[in-house]
Structure 1
């Protein structure tokens, strides 16, 4: 399971990702990663491995996390990027795992859009649960603003709004079902494979 929350005030996009692997044999492995937007307030946490440059986008943030950094600095960008990156780090998703990436993207957008403190849990299949003082109606209203023309596109994945399914969580919060993902913006910029 992967649990993500925002650091400090509600306006902050900085996140704390706490992951624990509960589906693999052997000893449980845990990890905590901090992802901060460059230029913002950063706590003094001695002993952590901190990135030396700010990076942008879920793929680059995930690379930094997978290289063993404890704290990654990011440039402003897609509000879901830090959440998607943490899920890539935790679950080992590849860029072809479109449905899982789509679910994490919707969860990240839902978390970033809340004016109240919330915690997001992400499952291996990309399904998420947003815990806090939120309702299906308020989450859907904030999510809809992120889907111009009915789609939210990132370099990693494009999510059609019609694939987003919300339901009330228990005892509070909102569940977001796994979504259908389509190739992201970067797929159109990749060179075509040579024909054999």
Structure 2
């Protein structure tokens, strides 16, 4: 039988309590730290992508930029790969007559009031591709005075492998965009035509 004095001494003993408490808190602390590191890295990678995109977009607005598109894209890749070595980048450019046209559908006459361009309804083919589109932008850099939407999508694997434990996917995809007007090196040309919906 244990003496009553020994039981009282055991009640007051705190040796090793910090180790037990740390063992209980450590897994949660580790997950929170990994989440913060992962989020911080993603924000930094996005900031690098946006900065590189802004510099490249300015280089795209001058006359003759169509001849150096791959060099302009390589500038963005070079800057991003310094931070995210395994990044895969996808580039797209769409040209619009005005800033207000960005992301806007081509105009059409909705004769049957169904909200869809169909049944031979007339439409303005703003991008000159021969069909009605939800986005009136023409692919490419456009011409003088055109507003160009320059978009880069970046995909890379997470740098902190335990991120999947907190429900995050193994790869990160982010997109950066900017819209700039081409310099007035020539008269603005329009490719818009009138067509009929099918």
Is TM-score (shorter-chain normalized) higher than 0.5? no
TM-score by length of 2: 0.24
TM-score by length of 1: 0.25
Structure number with greater CO (CA < 8 Å, separation at least 6) is 2
Q: Which structure has the larger Rg?
A: 2
Structure 1 or 2: larger helix share? 2
